[in-house]
């Protein structure tokens, strides 16, 4: 199957020098031409996965697309070019081109993905496993590539001798054979290889391996014959010298006898019938060999040849030929034409129809192939004919009874056609027995299958539904979720009225727990727009009617409520507002009025009139500058509310923002008004002291530097001076003006600090330099550690690298002109150093990593600082698992294997990743750091100490041993007294 895509003749690559008159004949040179060919490094392999060995994923409805995705992934991982094609018989053919290693790796991955996998165990002596693995796992990896299998070798700690081989049947046979050959070669007993043409191997093995088993039993040897799928002629024999010699002699005699006496005959048999001759697991061929002594040679499954070769004694060929024809014709195949879409109806629910046909025909197999308009029947000739007749009859009945049609539909309507949880399509199925198929793979096509009348009915209903939906529109209306309950109304009364008003519009509110503001409308375009306008108007009315204020009652509740509630009822009716009195037992004395603003103000005035008529309520004005209103009111009105509560619920009303008035109106009992006025004036005076203002001007470009990262610079000034510093916002016209507010001395100090900072920035020079982007990470890693060191070294300089994700090599430097060039030179030195850096690996067993790192990584940090290197330890979960294919072998086995992980696939090309520590820096420093790490590994030392001294060494509550461990940074393990061991491990 493997063939070179191109071959170059030696003479074309290395032309000969001009020949002399007495040159040798051209024919002699031709011999060299024939022998010396240089193969291209690019090869092409073609191989096939038969339909009966294909692996199908029943959960995947997009098989072809998935196959292409899988092949693309394999191409990306291996670098090979893969072409895939599918035949009518559902078999797959792959064309793989690339370098030999890439092609072999791609072939193994393709077969493991697309071909059904089997598993086999082979017992190999433990001491031979290392030879199967090869150095660094190379032999195992090569073996896997050549046989397209996965081979799992148990780890050293596992006493098992079983090696597990997973793959296709052919691959497993080849792998097991080669593994056994490697093991036999390493056996200390005799070992022989004999070359016998493959065509004679079946006679040496005998039917069902009877001959070879008897020979091994008699000679006490182990004989490995290559599997039938392999093209190898070499048979290996291992065992005691006498036994090996005897077995070899007997095999050679058998071969020489066969070579002289045996004849061959070829017979043409339809490719479709080959499998009946072969039989399950080759039982058909074995039976012919056992009864006639004739070997049956079958062409490969992926070959189109139909010739079967019989080899054996001349007088037995006729009998064998009859048996071949008998087996080939023992099973007949027939086909029945049936549209692929109707297959499922022929099969019936849970296979009921097909079971009824085949229940009395036990020797018949009926096969339905997806996307093929035929049914294949296999079995004995008489039963095949009966099954064919019944299937023809059933197919004709179904074709006459059933039909299908398709509708082209925009996928956005699918969810409405399907309905909630499939309600619509299930209803149609129950009513008409019709199946509505909506497949993602068919883009915008809906398929309707069933009885002719049912299909017509469903099609008409769906067309009407689609036509209606095409005239509809869906609209999202943004309505604050706090108004949803009001729009729905108590028990849904309000929304019911809205729906009656717009009967063709579906109004969908989001669930209450989602806190969503989106209300969906769907229906005829005109009505949806009208409903939208109606809801928007209702919301506007709700907003207008939700204005609310609080008015102190001043113990006038009974006068405001009136006899039998008459007064408050009149107030509500006349002002069209909601008036809520404080509940009994409530500490609050506030009356809440809700409604339109003008109505609320009117109700407030009416309540205040009642209070003035019934109680000693007075009003008084206090002059306070408007700029202090916000500070007096406080965050959320807390400050003004505390004054109101402290003064018996006095009403304090500030003028509106657009009035420009400085009059604050106080209303309440006379004594309370006096107290509230005093408190307000005190608060205003205190705030006036903190309202000294100064202004500073600065270029808007400098503002971000004055503020600092996360406000660090400006917060420092604010905290040290106790001032407020206000920078201009986007809405301000004057973008240069910075305002400082606070006590006079603090404001002056803040102003001086800002002016100094501005003066310093005006003397700043800015320049750019180019630093390759690959080096940026070094400067900004570990929270910009290197940058901070540079900025500390060159005080007053700011260095800016491009943000993460921005592709740019430009680095900006800002600072005093005298420092710009030194900073640039220092950065260039660092970059030069980075370019000279190398990365080496240091292998230390993972179990020692914690000890090497030291407490909280202190030891590694010291080594990094001492040698100016970066040290990267592997993640804890790095290692060899069942899926990563990281097998490895070295003579120092105990250091190279993870004791708890099995060897898998032999894909490793180096040491265990879990042991590898990476060191980056200058070459000489890396070597020194590597040695320092290796020297930091713990060692174990055992010393003999009589048992009676153990207690004294441990000390009271282990204090002595703890002191020694802390002093010498070691771990001391004293065996328990119950173990009676006279040593201590350090």
Flag whether 868 is in a domain: no
Q: Is residue 418 part of a domain?
A: yes
pLDDT for position 235: 92
Distance separating alpha carbons of residues 951 and 976, to the nearest angstrom: 10
Same domain, 338 and 372: yes
Give residue-wise pLDDT tens across range 265-309.
999 888 778 888 888 778 888 999 999 999 998 888 777 788 899
| 59 phi/psi in degrees, rounded to 5 | -90, -5
* Domain match, 60 and 32 both: no
Please check whether residues 605 and 663 belong to one and the same domain: no
**Quick one: average pLDDT of 213-221?**
91
738 neighbors 696 (Cβ within 8 angstroms): yes
pLDDT tens column, 473-514: 888 888 888 888 888 888 888 888 888 888 888 898 988 888
Domain identity same for 456 and 426: yes
Q: What are phi and psi of 506, to 5 degrees?
A: -95, 120
**Number of domain units in the chain:** 11
772 assigned to some structural domain: yes
Q: Considering the chain, what is the average pLDDT of its residues?
A: 80
Residue 157, SS3 per DSSP: coil
Domain closes at, from 489, 519, 544: 544
- The pair of structure tokens assigned to 585 is 């037992």
The answer as to whether 652 is a domain residue is yes
Report the alpha-carbon distance of residue 254 to residue 197 in Å, rounded.
Answer: 12
Cα 663 from Cα 666, distance rounded (Å): 10
Helical ranges in 800-911 per DSSP H: 817-835, 849-853, 858-867, 893-896
Q: How far is residue 269's CA from residue 290's CA, in Å, rounded to a whole number?
A: 21
Residues sharing a CB contact under 8 Å with residue 188, sequence separation 6 or more, in sequence order: none
Question: What confidence tens digit (pLDDT) does each residue in 884-940 have?
Answer: 333 333 333 333 334 444 444 444 445 788 889 999 888 889 999 999 998 888 887
Rounded to 10 deg, the angle between the 169-186 and 138-147 helix axes is 150
The last residue of one of the domains, among 77, 92, 116, is: 116
**One domain, residues 366 and 430:** no
Summarize the confidence of residues 93-112 as an average pLDDT.
Answer: 85
Render pLDDT for 715-770 as a digit per residue (tens, 0 to 9).
Answer: 899 889 888 888 888 777 888 889 888 888 888 899 999 888 888 777 778 899 99
Tell whether the torsion through CA atoms of 123, 127, 128 and 129 is positive or negative: positive
pLDDT band, very low/low/confident/very high, at 615 (cuts 50, 70, 90): low
Whether 253 and 194 have beta carbons less than 8 Å apart is answered as: no
Can you tell me which residue has the tokens 């609050």?
588
pLDDT at residue 635, rounded to an integer = 64
Query: Where residue 306 sits, what CATH number does that domain have?
Result: 3.30.1370.10
Distance between CA atoms of residues 628 and 631, nearest Å = 5
Q: Is residue 345 part of a domain?
A: yes
Which of 510, 544, 578 finishes a domain? 544
- Rounded average pLDDT over 957-965: 87
CA distance 467 to 355: 43
| Calpha distance 92→133 (Å, rounded) | 33
The pLDDT tens digits of the residues spanning 644-676 come to 877 877 788 888 777 778 888 887 777 788 888
Q: What domain range includes position 947?
A: 942-985
Q: Is 278 helix (H, G, I), strand (E, B) or coil?
A: helix
Residue 975 has pLDDT above 90, yes or no: no
* Geometric angle at alpha carbon 834, from 830 and 838, rounded to 5°: 150
For the chain, what is the largest distance between any 2 Cα atoms, rounded to a whole number of angstroms? 146
pLDDT digits (tens, 9 = 90+) for 374-385: 888 888 788 888
pLDDT band, residue 213 (cuts 50/70/90): very high
Output the pLDDT for position 589. 74
Could you tell me if residue 192 is inside a domain? no
* Whole-number CA gyration radius for the chain: 47
Same domain, 392 and 454: no
Per-residue confidence at 619, pLDDT binned at 50, 70, 90?
Answer: confident
Q: Which residues contact 46 (CB under 8 A, 6 or more apart)?
A: 1, 93, 94, 95, 96
Kindly tell me if the per-residue pLDDT of 215 is higher than 90.
yes
- For 486, how many CA atoms within 13 A lie in the half-sphere containing its CB? 14
CA 739/CA 747 separation, integer angstroms? 10
pLDDT of residue 863: 92
Residue 8 has pLDDT above 80, yes or no: no
Is residue 220 predicted with pLDDT exceeding 90? no
Percent of the chain at pLDDT exceeding 70: 89
One domain, residues 282 and 298: yes
Whole-angstrom distance, CA of residue 78 vs CA of residue 684: 80
Q: Are residues 280 and 300 in the same domain?
A: yes
The pLDDT assigned to 16 comes to: 45
Tens digit of pLDDT for each residue in 333-353?
A: 788 888 888 888 888 887 788
Q: Is residue 246, in this structure, part of any structural domain at all?
A: no
521 and 583 part of one domain: no
Residue 425, domain member (yes or no):
yes
Q: Which stretches of 870-949 are DSSP H helices? A: 893-896, 923-935
- Asked if pLDDT for residue 247 goes beyond 90, the answer is yes
Same domain, 287 and 351: no
Residue 116's pLDDT is 75
pLDDT of amino acid 811: 92
Comparing CA positions, the residue from 141, 148, 142, 136 lying closest to residue 110 is 148
Q: How confident is residue 218, by pLDDT bands cut at 50, 70 and 90? A: very high
Residues linked to residue 95 through DSSP beta bridges, in sequence order: 46, 83
Please check the confidence at residue 866 and state whether its pLDDT lies above 80.
yes
Those residues with Cβ within 8 angstroms of residue 280's Cβ, 6 or more apart along the chain or in another chain: none
Stretch 521-532: mean pLDDT, rounded? Answer: 88
pLDDT computed for residue 572 by the predictor: 87
| 415 in the same domain as 397 | no
Rounded CA-CA distance 236/112 in Å is 29
- Which pLDDT value is given to residue 26? 38
Mean pLDDT for the stretch of residues 206-223: 90
> Nearest-5° angle of CA 762, CA 765, CA 767?
150
pLDDT at 926: 92
Residue 20 is predicted with a pLDDT of: 38
Ordered alpha helix ranges (H), 79-193 = 100-114, 129-133, 138-147, 169-186
Tokens 């090696």: give the residue: 163
DSSP 163-183: EEEEE-HHHHHHHHHHHHHHH
């Amino acid at each position: 199957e493997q063939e070179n895509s191109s071959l170059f003749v030696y003479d074309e690559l290395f032309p000969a020098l001009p020949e002399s008159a007495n040159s040798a004949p051209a024919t002699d040179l031709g011999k060299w031409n024939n022998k010396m060919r240089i193969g291209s490094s690019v090869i092409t392999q073609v191989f096939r996965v038969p339909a009966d060995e294909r692996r199908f994923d029943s959960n995947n409805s997009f098989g072809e697309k998935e196959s292409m995705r899988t092949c693309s992934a394999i191409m990306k991982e291996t670098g090979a070019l893969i072409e895939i094609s599918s035949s009518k018989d559902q078999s797959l053919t792959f064309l793989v081109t690339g370098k030999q290693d890439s092609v072999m790796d791609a072939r193994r991955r393709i077969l493991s993905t697309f071909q059904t996998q089997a598993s086999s165990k082979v017992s190999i002596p433990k001491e031979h496993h290392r030879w199967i693995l090869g150095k660094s796992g190379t032999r195992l990896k090569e073996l896997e590539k050549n046989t397209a299998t996965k081979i799992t070798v148990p780890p050293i700690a596992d006493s098992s001798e079983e090696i597990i081989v997973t793959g296709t049947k052919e691959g497993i046979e080849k792998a097991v054979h080669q593994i056994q050959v490697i093991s036999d070669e390493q056996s200390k007993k005799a070992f022989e290889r004999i070359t016998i043409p493959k065509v004679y191997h079946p006679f040496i093995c005998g039917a069902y391996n009877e001959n070879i088993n008897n020979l091994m039993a008699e000679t006490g040897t182990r004989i490995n014959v290559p599997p039938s799928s392999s093209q190898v002629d070499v048979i290996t024999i291992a065992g005691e010298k006498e036994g090996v010699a005897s077995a070899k002699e007997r095999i050679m005699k058998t071969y020489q006898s066969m070579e002289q006496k045996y004849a061959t005959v070829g017979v043409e048999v339809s490719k479709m019938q080959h499998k009946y001759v072969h039989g399950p697991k080759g039982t058909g061929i074995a039976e012919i060999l056992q009864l006639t002594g004739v070997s049956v040679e079958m062409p490969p499954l992926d070959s189109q040849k139909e010739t079967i070769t019989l080899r054996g004694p001349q007088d037995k060929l006729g009998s064998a030929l009859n048996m071949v024809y008998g087996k080939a014709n023992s099973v007949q195949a027939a086909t029945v034409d049936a549209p692929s879409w109707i297959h499922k109806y022929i099969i019936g629910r849970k296979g009921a129809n097909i079971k009824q046909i085949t229940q009395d025909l036990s020797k018949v197999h009926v096969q339905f192939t997806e996307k093929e308009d035929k049914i294949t029947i296999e079995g004995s000739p008489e039963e095949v004919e009966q099954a064919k007749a019944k299937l023809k009859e059933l197919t004709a009945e179904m074709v006459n009874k059933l039909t299908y049609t398709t509708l082209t539909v925009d996928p956005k309507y699918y969810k409405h056609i399907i309905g909630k949880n499939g309600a619509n399509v299930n209803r149609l199925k129950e009513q008409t027995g019709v199946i509505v198929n909506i497949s993602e793979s068919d883009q915008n096509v809906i398929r309707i299958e069933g009885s002719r009348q049912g299909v017509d009915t469903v099609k008409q209903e769906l067309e009407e539904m689609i036509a209606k939906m095409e005239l509809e529109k869906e609209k999202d209306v943004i309505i604050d979720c706090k108004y949803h309950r009001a729009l729905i109304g108590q028990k849904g009364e309000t929304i019911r009225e809205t729906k009656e008003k717009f009967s063709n519009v579906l109004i969908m509110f989001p669930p209450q727990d989602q806190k969503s503001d989106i209300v969906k409308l769907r229906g005829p375009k005109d009505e949806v727009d009208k409903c939208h306008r109606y809801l928007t108007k209702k919301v506007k009315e709700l907003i207008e009617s939700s204005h609310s204020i609080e008015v102190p009652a001043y113990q006038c509740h009974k006068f405001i409520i009136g006899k039998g509630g008459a007064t408050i009822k009149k107030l509500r009716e006349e002002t069209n507002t909601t008036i809520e009195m404080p509940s009994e037992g409530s500490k609050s004395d506030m009356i809440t009025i809700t409604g339109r603003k003008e109505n609320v103000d009117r109700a407030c005035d009416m309540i205040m009139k009642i209070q003035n008529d019934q109680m000693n309520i007075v009003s008084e004005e206090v002059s306070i500058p408007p700029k202090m209103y916000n500070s007096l009111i406080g965050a959320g009105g807390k400050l003004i509310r505390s004054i109101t509560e402290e003064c018996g619920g006095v009403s304090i009303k500030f003028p509106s923002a657009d009035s420009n008035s400085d009059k604050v109106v106080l209303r309440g009992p006379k004594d309370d008004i006096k107290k509230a006025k005093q408190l307000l004036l005190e608060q205003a005076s205190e705030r006036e002291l903190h309202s000294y203002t100064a202004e500073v001007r600065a270029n808007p470009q400098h503002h971000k530097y004055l503020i600092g990262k996360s406000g660090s610079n400006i917060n420092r000034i604010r905290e040290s001076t106790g001032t407020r510093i206000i920078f201009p916002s986007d809405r301000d016209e004057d973008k240069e003006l910075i305002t400082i507010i606070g006590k006079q001395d603090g404001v002056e100090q803040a102003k001086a600090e800002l002016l100094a900072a501005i003066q310093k920035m005006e003397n700043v020079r800015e320049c750019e330099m180019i630093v390759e982007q690959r080096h940026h990470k070094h400067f900004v890693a570990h929270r910009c550690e290197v940058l901070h060191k540079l900025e500390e070294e060159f005080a007053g300089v700011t260095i800016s690298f491009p943000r993460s994700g921005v592709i740019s090599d430009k680095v900006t430097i800002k600072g005093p002109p005298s420092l710009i060039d030194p900073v640039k030179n220092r950065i260039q030195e660092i970059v030069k150093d980075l370019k000279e850096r190398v990365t080496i690996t240091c292998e230390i067993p993972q179990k020692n990593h914690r000890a090497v790192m030291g407490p909280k990584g202190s030891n590694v940090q010291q080594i990094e600082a001492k040698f100016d290197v970066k040290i990267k330890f592997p993640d804890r979960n790095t290692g060899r698992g069942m899926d990563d294919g990281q097998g490895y072998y070295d003579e120092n086995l105990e250091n190279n294997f993870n004791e708890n992980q099995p060897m898998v696939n032999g894909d490793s090309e180096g040491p265990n990743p879990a042991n590898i520590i990476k060191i980056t820096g200058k070459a000489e420093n890396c070597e020194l750091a590597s040695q320092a790490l290796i020297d930091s590994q713990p060692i174990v030392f055992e010393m003999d100490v009589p048992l009676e001294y153990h207690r004294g060494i441990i000390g009271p509550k282990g204090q002595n041993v703890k002191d020694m461990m802390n002093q010498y940074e070691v771990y001391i393990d004293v065996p328990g007294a119950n173990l009676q061991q006279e040593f201590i491990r350090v």
